[in-house]
Amino acid sequence: MKDWSILEKRLGVTFKNQELLKQALVHRSYLNENPAFHLQHNERLEFLGDAVLELAVTEYLYSNYPNPEGELTNWRAALVNAKILSEITQDIGVEEFLFLSRGEAKDAGSKARQVILANAFESITGAIYLDQGMEAARGFIARAVLIKLPHIIEAELYIDAKSRFQEQVQEKFSITPTYQVMSEAGPDHFKHFRVGVFVENTLIAEGQGSSKQEAQMAAAKAALKTDWEEKIK
């Protein structure tokens, strides 16, 4: 039996209608195994919460930073992407309250679980909005998401590592780095890629991830930390 008051405390929100909070955590897979369950899955709440989250973050950035549109857009993207939202959801301690199928419940740590957690954050946001209005939703988003903004700006996490490395290479040598899969392993639903980033024919760095894109990003980050110019002279 789940103690929903524990999750409410973690969220900093006491729901008037606790069924909304429960529904926010019902994954579609759970209903496939439990068709008689009294609540619907969370996808409509996720749809609503996505819009509420984007509006709240956009309003905050617009009101507090005079930066140009491009920078604000990049900051917003860095705050509301699936990776960050899934990490926030894990940190809050939502995962143990999810309603998942037996198969999904065993799939902890996978790319699919990351998406489920990010979607759960959005559905929780939608549930808070329906239960208590926009101000309560803004407060939750400020505590959970906007608190991350200073670190994102300071560490320049809003800048795509691949774009940054490409800019540096093009500035120095007027060429574009390329990425090559060095190896891949695992079943289709749980792949693991090792990717190398090359400048001309010189391997600069390698990165690993559960998708080619993630591995490329890791390789670019690793390249930025090396004295890569010396390798191609």
What confidence tens digit (pLDDT) does each residue in 82-106 have? 889 999 999 999 999 999 999 888 8
Residue 191 in this model has a pLDDT that exceeds 70: yes
Mean confidence (pLDDT) of the chain:
93
C-alpha span between 19 and 44 (Å, rounded) = 14
Surface-to-core class of residue 70, CB atoms within 10 Å of its CB (0-12 exposed, 13-18 middle, 19+ buried) = exposed
Q: Which residue has the tokens 């996808």?
A: 43
Q: Is 122 a catalytic residue?
A: yes
Q: For residue 41, give the nearest of 123, 108, 105 by alpha carbon.
A: 123
SS3 string of 61-84? HHHHCCCCHHHHHHHHHHHHCHHH
Q: Which residue has the tokens 């090396």?
A: 226
pLDDT tier for residue 204 given thresholds of 50, 70 and 90? very high
Catalytic: which of 46, 50, 104, 131? 50
C-alpha span between 107 and 33 (Å, rounded) = 16
Q: Is 19 a catalytic residue?
A: no
C-alpha span between 142 and 32 (Å, rounded) = 35
Q: How many residues does the chain have?
A: 233
What confidence tens digit (pLDDT) does each residue in 97-153 have? 999 999 888 877 677 888 999 999 999 999 999 999 999 999 999 999 999 999 999
Which two tokens mark 153? Answer: 């700006």
Q: Which residues are 193's β-sheet partners?
A: 184, 209
Continuous segment of H or E residues that includes residue 183: strand 178-185
Note the pTM of the prediction, 2 decimals: 0.77
pLDDT tier for residue 233 given thresholds of 50, 70 and 90? low
Contacts with 149 (C-beta within 8 Å, 6 or more apart), sequence order: 75, 79
Domains of the chain, CATH where assigned: 4-154 (1.10.1520.10), 161-228 (3.30.160.20)
How far, in whole angstroms, is CA 204 from its chain's centroid? Answer: 27
Percent of the chain with pLDDT over 90: 70
CB of 117 closer than 8 Å to CB of 36: no
How far, in whole angstroms, is CA 69 from its chain's centroid? Answer: 22
pLDDT at 145: 97
Q: For residue 42, give the nearest of 94, 102, 110 by alpha carbon.
A: 94
pLDDT at 122: 98
pLDDT at 35: 94
Count the neighbouring beta carbons within 10 Å of the beta carbon of residue 137.
25
Catalytic: which of 46, 104, 122, 131? 122
CB of 144 closer than 8 Å to CB of 88: yes
